[in-house]
Structure 1
Amino acid sequence: MSSPEQDPVYEVMKNHSGRKADNHTVQNPTYENVGIKETSKDKVPCSWLMLSILLLAVLGLLVAFSSLGISASSFHKGEQAENTAIDLQRLKHDTNKTAEKLQILNYEATGNEENLKTLKLESNETADELQMLKNELAEMKSRIAIILKHPPSCDYINGITSDSGTYVISPDPLTVFPFPVFCNFTNEKETIIEHDSMNEIQITSCDPEKCHERHIRYNVTMEQIVALIQRSSECRQYIKYRCIGSILFEGGGYTQSATWLSRDGSHMKYWGGATSQRNFYCACGETESCVDSNKKCNCDSNSRDTETSDEGFLTDKDTLPVTGLQFGDAGDAGEYGWHTLGPLVCTGRN
């Protein structure tokens, strides 16, 4: 049998009886002490009763702790929910920011597409310009090769009299193609360009002034001729009018019966040999040696009994070459006229 200190019923019975234990020695409590009649049939050990009470207490504690756990869990879940709400708000904010960035990128992409089209167009234009430059470079190389192959004029050729003949020159490879000329090395190095009216030609029978016209055609282009003139220090062209009773400029009621046309088609009023280029002057007028001292040209004497002529070189580089001739006063009996135009001759270097 356990001691009173170890018996859990002891404390309970003490509380119910209101008695104190003396020196830890008490009588064994019985059901009679508490007013309960003990029978052998209903007798239950006190230890089981106390154990049931303890179990109930433990169960209550477990329930309490369980409630505390649920409360803690609920608190924890509430905190998680709050954090989740914050995270959702932040995610929504980030999503809006991302949407804005996507809109900006879309706008930039649209602008970049336009820029790409512009750059592509500019690239095509640049490619075309590059091709043009390549073509120009190729042409320039070709012309440089021409320069090395063809001299600018006959003055650049070392030749003697026996070497006179046809040569190909290139006065300005950047503007004109090479062309053939006659090089005369007899006295000085002459570059000669001929035309279709080299021989003397009698004017047709006509009486009004400038009624006879002769257009001069050269065997090279005017651009090539001008290139040679500009590359030369001097150029000249011989011109002559032989006459019987036919006026050149003035007399017999005429103010200008004849003329020659410059390279731009202007009607010139002086004749070959008139270095002063004064109007209606011939070479004899410059030297005061005309057959009629009152006239400035021999043919202006209008003599039907004597054949005479006016001739000389035209030397103005700005008007050469001659592109046409016009004559008149040759329609009556005893009136005759013949004209001669020499080739263009250029010398020296410019």
Structure 2
Amino acid sequence: MATVRRNCEDWRLHRSTDNGFYQVDPTDSGTSFEVECDLASNPARTIIHHDKEPRTFYSRSSNGNYMTVDVTYWIALEKIDAVKTRALSCSQYVKMECYRDGVEFAENKAYWLGRHSEKYTYWGDVNGYSGYCECGLAGNCANSGDKCNCETSSYDWKYDDGTLVDMSTVPLTQLRSDHLANNARGYHTIGPLICIDVDPRAWIETPAGVTLTFIIVVMSVLSIVMVSLTCYRKQLWKLLTWKCKRKKSVTLVYKNGTF
């Protein structure tokens, strides 16, 4: 029984049904690693955890007006890249709760770093529009005309949340704000990276491929047998016909007294 497969969907297709941790080798490199598999989903999902998942309090740093959150994943980023090669999409839920001056993406005072340490100044699924959160793109922020709920300084709690869906940028590796007011505080939530897997099998490995391949092989064997049998019968018929003609010729010669 196999102990390593190409991704979580490969495990599901081979009748594994229990959610849990499985060994995968997405690039067939010969080196496997462990990921969490949601096998109840169809297709299966690969879940990659990190050390900053719980809802976490933040406030102005004692050394300055900034906030930095470094995110470390349970597997190396190169292995995450390998998982993405066998995925249809990868996404990550994020949420920012804020009081007073929050994490202001709209004025480029805050940003997050992606897979290759690029800076991004948006939050959620906003098609990459710099400075926007989802409420800004939808036009339903608490203050009309704002791009994010947390960009307005006020003495009440607000939040911006959404899902980062650009597969080329995730996972989020750092969150930073370079401007927090004296009494600014809040909570950040950074979810695990979740990838929806693709079927990693070559066509010939699928049930339809196996069935058609079997039919083609059987038909090819039958064709070879029939051709061989036909040729054999023709050769046998020629041989018998030749012997019959020779015997008849010998008999006629003998009757004519030509011996």
User: TM-score by structure 2 length?
Assistant: 0.69
Q: In the alignment, what sits opposite 1:281?
A: 132
**Which residue number corresponds to residue 298 of structure 1?**
149
- Asked whether 1:183 is paired with 2:37, we answer yes
Please list, as runs of the form range in 1=range in 2, the aligned pairs for 1:130-279 lying within 5 A after superposition. 149-158=3-12, 163-174=18-29, 177-188=31-42, 189-206=44-61, 211-249=66-104, 255-274=107-126, 276-279=127-130
8 Å CA contact 1:237, 1:342 repeated in 2: yes
Taking structure 1 as reference, are residues 185 and 209 closer, same or farther at Cα in structure 2, changes over 3 Å only? Answer: farther
Count residues with an aligned counterpart.
197
CA distance in 2, matches of 1:273, 1:207: 33
Give the letter for the 2:128 counterpart.
Q
1:327 equivalent in alignment to 2:177: yes
Deviation by residue 1:32-76 (Cα, 9 ceiling, x = unmatched): xxxxxxxxxxxxxxxxxxxxxxxxxxxxxxxxxxxxxxxxxxxxx
Deviation per CA, 1:195-236: give whole Å up to 9, x if none.
Answer: 111112222424999821111111111111001012101100
Aligned CA distance change for structure 1 residues 302 and 250 (closer, same or farther; 3 Å) = farther
Q: Return the match for 1:344 from 189, 193, 214.
A: 193
Q: Distance in 2 between matches of 1:310 and 1:229?
A: 27
How far apart, in 2, do the equivalents of 1:290 and 1:154 lie?
38
Seen in structure 2, the aligned counterparts of structure 1 residues 168 and 202 have a Cα distance that, compared at 3 Å, is: same
Rg comparison, structure with higher value = 1
Mapped partners of 1:158, 1:187: distance in 2: 9
Q: Partner residue of 1:26?
A: none
**1:310 corresponds to:** 160
Conserved? CA contact 1:243–1:336, under 8 Å: yes
CA change 1:301–1:186 in 2 (3 A) is farther
Alpha-carbon distance in 2 for matches of 1:240, 1:269 = 14
Instruction: Determine which structure has the larger strand proportion and give its number.
Output: 2
Shift of 1:328: 4.4
In 1: Cα distance, 2:46 partner to 2:36 partner: 6
Percent identity (aligned): 28
Which structure's relative contact order is higher, taking Cα pairs within 8 Å and 6+ residues apart? 2
Cα 1:209–1:301 shift into 2, 3 Å: farther
Tell me how far 1:272 sits from its aligned partner: 1.3
Structure 2 counterpart of 1:341, which letter?
Answer: I
Cα RMSD (Å): 2.6
Match of 1:163, SS?
Answer: coil
TM superposition shift of 1:153: 1.4
Indicate how the Cα distance of structure 1 residues 169 and 161 shifts in structure 2: closer, same or farther if over 3 A, else same. closer
Structure 1: distance between partners of 2:178 and 2:158: 16
Higher share in helix: 1
The alpha carbon displacement at 1:339 in A equals 1.0
Distance 1:347 1:298, change over 3 A: same
- Is the CA contact (8 Å cut-off) linking 2:105 and 2:123 kept in structure 1? no
1:250 to partner: Cα distance: 5.8
Normalising by structure 1, what TM-score?
0.52
